[in-house]
């Protein structure tokens, strides 16, 4: 009797611990999902730099994810706490329809974003002209319409009758339909077809990005080599001299130097002859005056030669320095460009890996169980884990699609500063420089 009582107490404590920990995690996830997607929507509409046509896809995705947290997650949290569905059959039907509709809308919006990026990278010039507000809204409308077509059939009786355990009055449970036809239809429409489309698009985008990255790297190396070679002949394209011009300049400087020397010698000779003609009777003072005048003339000549030589050296040093600065600026810009290309490729990989990890466990279980008679249910805890792993994708979407964007990061920083009361009149203004 004591052993049974101890086991019952242990199971109760374990159950309380499980319900408490999972409920706290679910509530935290729902709050983060709501706040993150509100930030995204507010950032786009509050900042002029972000109110561009491609970001309408991000807004549509954020709205779908936010509605998942507002209309779907709370009922799951309530069921996790109470252990039963307490809202009745009608609300159960509405909740299941909303669950399928909003999760499918989130996934199809991801698919539309992938399609938009595919067209943008494969035909950037023509697609930039075709990417109008009307076209973007049409694509968004199609994604939401398809989501409705996938979620509505149970309302009209397909896969929604009591025999398929959508709502069980006895145990008061509300679960998705296990009708094989509807399971196959909804699983393919909500996940497997979008997964195939996104895989195809992102693989081709990744290949195109890597190819462009290799081409850009080769072009950078060729341009760098050409600039290094040209810097030997022409260090500065604006103020430098070619080899021929520099030779002519040096020749001119030498000629000027020679002419200065000749002029100095002529001046010295003429000065000497004048002094000889006008030589006074006193011989003691004449040599001193002659030497003094000669030293003055020679000092002036040396000063002119040194000035020409020093100017030529400064000119060469300035040309070399300017050429080096141009090369450094070019290399820095190319590094930034290549870094953006690599970051874009990494973002694509993160998008696909996150999407697959979050959703494939649930949809594998959802598709396999109705068609596999020998398979056993993994348990309510595993099912809850798989369902909330799919919901986690709605939490991560605003992070993946915005945090990697500098303008969104600035907008988020501005929102946080305004909430904390640390914003000035100009801190909320951002501009995009492309």
The whole-number pLDDT of residue 329 equals: 60
| pLDDT of res. 140 | 96
Q: Are 81 and 18 in contact (CB under 8 A)?
A: no
What integer pLDDT is reported at residue 211 of this predicted model?
82
- Could you give the CA distance from residue 80 to residue 99 in angstroms, rounded to a whole number? 16
243, 319 contact by CB (below 8 A)? no
Please list the pLDDT of the chain residue by residue as tens digits (434 residues). 455 555 556 555 668 898 999 999 999 999 999 999 999 999 999 888 888 888 999 999 999 999 999 999 999 999 999 988 999 888 998 999 999 999 999 999 999 999 998 898 888 888 888 889 999 999 999 999 999 999 998 888 776 554 455 777 777 888 888 889 999 999 999 999 999 999 999 888 888 878 877 777 777 777 767 766 765 555 444 444 445 445 544 554 444 445 444 444 444 444 444 444 444 444 444 444 444 444 444 555 556 566 766 666 666 666 555 555 555 565 565 555 556 656 666 777 788 889 999 999 999 999 999 898 888 888 889 999 999 999 999 999 988 877 777 788 888 888 888 877 765 544 443 333 32
Q: What is the CATH number of domain 16-177+373-419?
A: 1.20.1070.10
What is the reported pLDDT for 103?
96
**What is the pLDDT, as a whole number, of residue 375?**
86
Contacts 24+ apart (CB under 8 A), 305-313: 305/257, 305/260, 305/261, 308/253, 308/256, 308/257, 308/260, 309/253, 309/257, 311/253, 312/249, 312/250, 312/253
- At residue 167, φ and ψ (nearest 5 deg) are -135, 120
The domain spans of the chain are: 16-177+373-419, 236-329
């Amino acid at each position: 009797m004591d052993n049974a009582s101890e086991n019952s107490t242990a199971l109760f404590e374990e159950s309380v611990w499980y319900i408490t920990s999972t409920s706290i995690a679910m509530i935290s996830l729902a709050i983060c999902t709501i706040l993150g997607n509100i930030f995204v929507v507010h950032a786009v509409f509050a900042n002029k730099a972000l109110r561009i046509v491609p970001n309408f896809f991000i807004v549509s995705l954020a709205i779908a994810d936010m509605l998942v947290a507002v209309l779907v997650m709370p009922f799951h949290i309530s069921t996790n706490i109470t252990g039963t569905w307490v809202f009745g059959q009608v609300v159960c039907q509405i909740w299941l329809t909303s669950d399928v509709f909003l999760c499918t809308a989130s996934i199809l919006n991801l698919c539309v974003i992938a399609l938009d990026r595919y067209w943008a990278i494969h035909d950037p010039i023509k697609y930039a002209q075709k990417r109008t507000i009307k076209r973007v809204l049409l694509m968004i409308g199609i994604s939401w319409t398809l989501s409705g077509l996938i979620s509505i059939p149970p309302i009209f009786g397909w896969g929604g009758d009591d025999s398929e355990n959508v709502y069980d009055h006895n145990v008061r449970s509300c679960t998705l339909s296990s009708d094989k036809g509807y399971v196959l239809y909804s699983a393919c429409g909500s996940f497997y077809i979008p997964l195939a489309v996104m895989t195809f698009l992102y693989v081709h985008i990744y290949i195109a990005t890597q190819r462009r990255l290799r081409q850009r790297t080769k072009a950078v190396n060729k341009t760098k080599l050409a600039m290094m070679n040209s810097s030997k002949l022409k260090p500065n394209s604006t103020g430098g001299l070619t080899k021929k011009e520099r030779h002519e300049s040096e020749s001119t400087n030498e000629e000027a130097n020679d002419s200065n020397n000749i002029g100095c010698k002529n001046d010295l000779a003429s000065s000497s002859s004048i002094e000889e003609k006008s030589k006074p009777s006193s011989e003691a003072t004449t040599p001193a005056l002659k030497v003094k005048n000669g030293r003055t003339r020679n000092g002036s000549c040396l000063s002119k030669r040194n000035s020409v030589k020093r100017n030529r050296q400064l000119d060469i040093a300035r040309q070399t320095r300017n050429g080096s600065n141009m090369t450094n600026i070019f290399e820095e810009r190319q590094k930034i460009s290549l870094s953006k290309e690599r970051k874009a490729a990494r973002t694509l990989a993160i998008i696909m890996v996150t999407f697959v990890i979050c959703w494939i466990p649930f949809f594998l279980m959802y598709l396999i169980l109705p068609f596999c008679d020998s398979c056993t249910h993994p348990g309510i805890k595993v099912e809850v884990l798989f369902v909330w792993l799919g919901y986690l994708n709605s939490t991560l979407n605003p992070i993946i699609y915005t945090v990697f964007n500098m303008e969104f990061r600035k907008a988020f920083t501005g929102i946080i500063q305004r909430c904390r009361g640390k914003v000035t009149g100009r801190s909320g203004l951002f501009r995009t420089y492309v």
